[in-house]
Amino acid sequence: MSATTHGTTPYYYVPAESRHPVMAAIGLFFVILGAGQWINGHEWGKYSLALGLVWWLSVLYQWFRDAIRESESGLYGRKIDLSYRWAMSWFIFSEVMFFGAFFTALWWARSHSIPALGSLDNQLLWPDFKAVWPSAVPGATGSPAGIVEPFETVGPFWLPTINTALLLSSGVTLTIAHHALRADQRSKTIAFMWLTVLLGFIFLCVQGYEYYHLYTEANLKLSSGIYGSTFFMLTGFHGLHVFIGMLMLFFITLRLQKGHFTAERHFGFEGAAWYWHFVDVVWLALYVLVYWM
């Protein structure tokens, strides 16, 4: 079914054939091909990766452009709005499970593998290993084989705490923006959206600075045994999600400036906001489990 030409909202809009899906898949083909080769030492891999990413992103751009056009021309009825709500909720649920895997890894390492490696029985293999989690005692590396260079662990002060404050306030500014949108105060909405994006951006800068500091001064690296592995994996994937969330908010703000969304109907906005709050909650979990404990 092609787009309706006479402007009434169909019961449930079904887009016409589209080349975006197959093109996006081709882009991702080059991404995985390139990534897989590059990490195995084939230099050409990175060109394939870059090509694939650019390709994929440009397809996504066109895809979203079409969707936005359809939305703005009134093709999306109430039903579709509800579909998007369901979809976004389930997508966020899948993300929760994804982070769940890494939080599980942290929990398992702390409360199972490290204690087991240092247990009485395991002295047969690692006679000198003391089962302490690196953040519990200075100097501990959590490496039974002693293959990990000494490193400093990260506590909550001060960068992570500042970051917590940044993210929490970004949640607040976002909510203010949302209320403003609902009250049809567009310029206020836009102002607070920019503020939210900015807070997210500062968060990433602080995070980047922290990484830089850890790598250069604290000697804490991805390769610093299980502590470094879980630390960087959790914070790194969280950072990536902040980045994605920030991009979402950024584009939503641009759309607001273009006059998209209405006080009543603005699921694009809400979806991005849900995502942002989800990223926020993950951070709180990280803040407690990774930095405090």
Partner 1 sequence: MSAVLDHHGHAADHAHDSHAPSGWRRWVFATNHKDIGTLYLLFAFTMLMVGGVLALLIRAELFQPGLQLVNPELFNQLTTMHGLIMVFGAIMPAFVGFANWMIPLQIGASDMAFARMNNFSFWLMIPAAIMLVASFFMPGGAPAAGWTLYAPLTLQMGPSMDAGIFAMHILGASSIMGSINIIVTILNMRAPGMTLMKMPMFCWTWLITAYLLIAVMPVLAGAITMTLTDRHFGTSFFNPAGGGDPIMYQHIFWFFGHPEVYIMILPAFGIISQVVPAFARKKLFGYASMVYATSSIAILSFIVWAHHMFTTGMPVTGQLFFMYATMLIAVPTAVKIFNWIATMWRGSMTFETPMLFAVGFIFVFTMGGFTGLFLSMAPLDIQLQDTYYVVAHFHYVLVAGSLFSMFAAFYYWSPKWTGVMYDETRGKIHFWWSLISFNVTFFPMHFLGLAGMPRRYADYPMQFADFNAIASIGGFAFGLAQVYFFFFIVLPVMRGQGAKAPQKPWEAAEGLEWEVPSPAPFHTFETPPKLDVTATRVIG
Partner 2 sequence: VQSLPGGPAVRQLNLTSPATKIAEEQHFLHWMMLIICAVIFIGVFSVMFYSIWKHRKSRGAQPASFHESVAVEVAWTVVPFIIVILIALPATKVIVAQKDTTNADLTVKVTGYQWKWGYDYLNGEGEGLSFISTLDSSQRAMSDSGDVSQAPADYLLRVDNPLVVPVGKKVRIITTANDVIHSFAVPAFGIKQDAIPGFVRDTWFRAETVGDYYGQCSELCGKEHAYMPIHVKVVSAQDYTNWVGEQKKIAAAKLDDPSKVWTLAELMARGEKVYAANCAACHQANGKGAGPIKPLDGSAIVLDEDHAKQIQVVLHGRQALGMPSWSQLSDTDIAAVVTYTKNNWSNKTGQLVQPAEVVAQRGK
Site for partner 2 in 85-124 (CB under 8 A): 116-117, 121-122, 124
The residues in 119-138 that bind partner 1, with binding defined as CB under 8 A, are none
- Per-residue binding string, partner 2, 131-170, x by CB under 8 A, is -------------x--------------------------
Asked if 240 is part of the footprint of partner 1 (rule: CB under 8 A), the reply reads: no
Chosen residue from 151, 227, 276, 278 binding partner 1 by CB under 8 A: 227
Please pick, from the candidates 55, 56, 76, 102, the single residue that binds partner 1 as defined by CB under 8 A.
Answer: 102
The tokens 């830089």 sit on which residue? Answer: 212
In this structure, which amino acid lies at residue 167? L
The total of other beta-carbon atoms located within 10 Å of residue 229's CB is 18
Cβ proximity of 221 and 151 under 8 Å: yes
Binding of partner 2 by 41 (CB under 8 A): no
Among 113, 161, 175, 185, binds partner 1 (CB under 8 A): 113
Going by C-alpha positions, the residue among 90, 98, 207 that lies closest to residue 160 is 207
Instruction: Show the DSSP H helices in the chain as ranges.
Output: 20-38, 44-72, 78-108, 114-117, 159-182, 186-213, 225-257, 267-286
Q: Which of 54, 82, 165, 284 binds partner 1 (CB under 8 A)?
A: 82
Shortest distance, CB of residue 45 to partner 1, whole angstroms?
A: 10
Among the candidate windows 18-26, 149-157, 189-197, 253-261, which touches partner 1 by CB under 8 A? 18-26
Instruction: Kindly give, in sequence order, each residue whose CB lies less than 8 Å from that of residue 163, ignoring residues fewer than 6 positions away.
Output: 203, 206, 207, 283, 287
- Of the CA atoms within 13 Å of residue 16, those in its CB half-sphere come to 7
- For residue 57, state whether it binds partner 1 (rule: CB under 8 A): no
Q: Is 116 in the site for partner 1 (CB under 8 A)?
A: yes
